[in-house]
Amino acid sequence: MDPIFTEIATTLATKAAGGLWDLVKAKLSKRKDGAAALELAKDAPPESARVHVLAEEIQRDAAADPVFEQALRVHWQQANISQVTTNITNTFSGRADGPVIQVGQQFNK
């Protein structure tokens, strides 16, 4: 199995990416097995069988629909970039007699 589908399923189970959730829900809801897998994976532990089944359902739909697969990968990349850019912490200690400006570089996966 392509690891991206497991990562997507884990993210969906923890409801960590709204746009990704909407995309997958719209697609999987069209099939009974897909809708059931999505519902069962809600709040499931990341390494659980329920998340693995969801990953398989997502992969099944992605294999059958290249447009859906591409949209998944784009949403997944955006979700990862958002997590990277929002997990930055700037710390300043000491005394400043004027404005403090911190310049850095963003690294993407």
pTM above 0.85, yes or no: no
Structure-model confidence comparison of residues 10 and 52, the more confident one? 52
HEC-encoded secondary structure of the chain: CCHHHHHHHHHHHCCCCHHHHHHHHHHHCCCHHHHHHHHHHCCCCCCCHHHHHHHHHHHHHHHHCHHHHHHHHHHHHHHHHHHHHHCCCCCCCCCCCCCCCCCCCCCCC
Poorest-confidence range of 32-36, 40-44, 62-66, 88-92? 88-92
Poorest-confidence range of 7-16, 63-72, 73-82? 7-16
pLDDT at position 42 over 80 = yes
Q: Where are the domains of the chain?
A: 3-85
